[in-house]
């Protein structure tokens, strides 16, 4: 039996916050579908693990320390886990980066197959000029 969606997402987020990319990616399907709101340089889809990793790399390039996600609320329904989180990091220019997120995670067969991220896109545009 596979773990429920919330268990998989919580384990993935624990690995993410620990900076353990290998353990985080073990929870992500090879054909993951990622999408981010807004009209900034990170917006839109990233389909498949290579595209997702490329996007994460571009975000990390604008930071001097990785984003940490603190879960504020969590709701699960079937394949879906919805997380409200407060993110914190420091930009490459040394400015604090604090964003709020609503993330919809779809889990099948114990792997994250879809992730939709909603955030303050105006803050992203100001913090990551490009």
Rounded distance, CA 58 to CA 70, Å?
Answer: 22
Rounded distance, CA 29 to CA 23, Å?
Answer: 12
pLDDT number for residue 130: 67
pLDDT number for residue 3: 67
pLDDT profile of the chain (130 residues), mean per 10:
83 97 97 96 97 96 95 96 98 96 98 98 90
Query: Tell me, what CATH number does 72's domain have?
Result: 3.10.450.50
- Domain range for 44 is 5-127
Q: How many domains does the chain have?
A: 1
pLDDT number for residue 48: 98
Q: Is the dihedral of CA 20, 123, 47, 27 positive or negative?
A: positive
């Amino acid at each position: 039996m596979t773990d429920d969606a919330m268990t998989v997402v919580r384990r993935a987020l624990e690995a993410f916050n620990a900076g353990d990319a290998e353990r985080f990616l073990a929870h992500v399907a090879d054909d993951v579908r990622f999408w981010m709101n807004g009209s900034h340089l990170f917006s839109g889809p990233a389909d498949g693990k290579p595209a997702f990793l490329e996007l994460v790399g571009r975000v990390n390039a604008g930071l001097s320390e990785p984003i940490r996600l603190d879960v504020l609320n969590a709701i699960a329904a079937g394949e879906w886990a919805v997380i409200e989180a407060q993110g914190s990091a420091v930009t490459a220019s040394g400015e604090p980066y604090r964003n709020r997120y609503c993330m919809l995670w779809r889990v099948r067969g114990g792997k994250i197959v879809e992730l939709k991220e909603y955030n303050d896109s105006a803050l992203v545009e100001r913090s990551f000029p490009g």
